[in-house]
A and B are shown apart, each in its own frame.
Chain A
């Protein structure tokens, strides 16, 4: 829009942006280009594939739902209360983002294996972490829960504290204030945190493969097919999984957007 030197600079920036976008889009598009709809349908019909996709979606959703109960109130505390070592606590929340995920998986096995205290206690009530769905969920939650905590914390921090004070002044209990004022007022951030956590959990590979090779989630299935049979064989499953991820992501975005509009 601007003439002269700023115009030239902005053109260069836009060209850079185009390269970055191309870098993201090209490999994804490449997956779909050499594929016929028939390939996709026949792949989707394979029991191994559909089972793994359902497992991946459900395990990540379950992990997100379970941890939401713990993480959302915790995020409120982080947003509202001042306490010693708060920065340290915030740092701990971010740890899973910075450590390699295979390392995270190995660390998790340490506390969840049947020889450990937690693992053996869980085994007694019939929950198996290593090689079980519970382990997959634990690994997914470990690497993805920071996204929920951070998004919810920022959301709560943006809610005017006076709304909560006004509700208390009207005689509501702190729990009622949290459920009827804080959470609804921060719902956009919380919702986007939930979507992020779910999406991040679904795409986890490193931590899950250490804890549970079987039952097989889709990222592990892709890896196995690629390793054993090569690119041609892995490609249709990859395309299908990417398509499903995008579909859900897009649908949730639209839903969140619609609710926002309705709220004015």
Chain B
């Protein structure tokens, strides 16, 4: 669908170089990177707002590296939406449709379709200055979709939204992707990356340093940026269960308010605290939040797993103990405690963590 080969751009002191990745049709591809790593430069080069110094861009097999902005067929939603302030929402959405020889009536119909899809029907007569962040973002999305782009680029689409608007937007983006829209989503927020991305690329220092599924990227990080979240060595896809039958007091409670629930991932069942409803999700546990003990621990932690140590390795932050407890579970301990507890590969140990240490993300 979209293929980028050795793309490079120099802008003053900033250099983006040798960016190579491919996004398949219908994929939700997340580009994750800290600010200043060149995500926006990459987006602007893809859309043609900046001319590439080197490398090639292909869209659907056609090379578009030197194609003019207005002919690329790549939709872009800006971080600050960039809605035209002097036009109503209706005119904003219709902007890309006029000047294409479509009749007034067809444009009007298309605008209404998009308005319904993006839930902005009631806003069509308003001016952008009067919209909330979430509303403006949905209008920007409708406007970008109007021209029927073959691929949609989103620059930090959730970062300016409050929690409610954010989850509504996430749902919309997922719906859009399910209708086979190819999405490239740029963000600095790893939660967004995990909860939305089917594949992701990590940007660091003007390069794409790793491209893979979210699971593999967090399990085997190859970059500083992801390593900063080395806590997220533990990454489990599974299901949230909030029904009272799941056992234990307090597992009931309505979605939307924090409460106890169970999270099942294969043979492992975690006690978690979440405000999400029952359904598919991802649990992430920082390795420093996992405690290792040689004997069954007398602890208030709700989650205790017994397992065998399969690997011990030192890294920048300490010593990592990997145990097999039905699934691989990594814990970060000090080198000192390895000696004190006499930890060695093949030993049986107990790993424990608090329910609140487990972060559950919506699928």
Q: Do A and B come from one complex?
A: yes
A29 within 8 A of B: no
Contacts of A165 in B (CB 8 A): 44, 49, 69, 78, 82
B146 smallest CB distance to A (angstroms):
8
B55 interface contact, C-beta 8 A: no
Contact between A172 and B96 (Cβ–Cβ < 8 Å)?
A: yes
CB distance from A98 to the nearest CB of B (A): 35
Decide yes or no whether B318 CB sits under 8 A from chain A: no
Interchain CB contact under 8 A, A162 and B82: yes
Q: Which listed residue (B44, B85, B86, B147) contacts A170, Cβ 8 A?
A: B147
Interface 0/1 of A14-53, CB less than 8 Å to B: 0000000000000000000000000000000000000000
Contact check, B95 vs A167: say whether CB atoms are below 8 A apart. yes
B21 lies within 8 A of chain A by Cβ = no
Report chain B residues within 8 Å CB of A110. Answer: none
Contacts A169-B70, A173-B70, A264-B129 given: A185-B99 contact, CB under 8 Å?
no
Q: Report the bound CA distance from A169 to B149 in whole Å.
A: 10
Partner of B127, one of A171, A176, A263: A263
Q: Is B75 interfacial (CB 8 A cutoff)?
A: yes
Set of chain A residues within 8 Å of B241, measured between Cβ atoms: none
- Which residues on the B side are within 8 Å of A173 (C-beta)? 70, 99
Q: State A173–B100 Cα separation when bound (angstroms).
A: 11
Give the CA-CA distance A166 to B70 in the complex, in Å: 10
Centre residue among A163, A171, A173, A187 by max chain B CB count within 10 A: A171
Chain A nearest CB: distance from B89 CB in Å? 13
Q: B69 near A169 (CB under 8 angstroms)?
A: yes
Closest Cβ neighbor of B128 among chain A residues: A264
Instruction: Find A185's partner among B47, B74, B85 (CB 8 Å cutoff).
Output: B85
Residues of chain A contacted by B80 (CB below 8 angstroms): 160, 162
Given A163-B84, A263-B86, A168–B130 Cβ distance below 8 Å?
no
Asked if B99 contacts A172 (CB within 8 A), the reply is: yes
Closest chain A residue, CB of each to CB of B44? A165
Of B82, B129, B147, most buried by chain A (CB within 10 Å of CB) is B82
CB-CB < 8 A to B47: which residues of A? 169
When distances are taken between beta carbons in the complex, the residues of chain A under 8 Å from B130 are: 264
Out of B71, B76, B82, B127, name the residue touching A160 (CB < 8 Å): B82
**B239 within 8 A of partner (CB):** no
- CB of B143 within 8 Å of the partner chain: yes
B interface residue numbers (CB < 8 A to A): 44, 47, 49, 69-72, 74-76, 78, 80, 82, 84-86, 95-96, 99-100, 127, 129-130, 143-144, 146-147
List the 5 closest A-B pairs by CB distance, nearest first. Answer: A170-B96, A166-B82, A162-B82, A168-B69, A184-B86
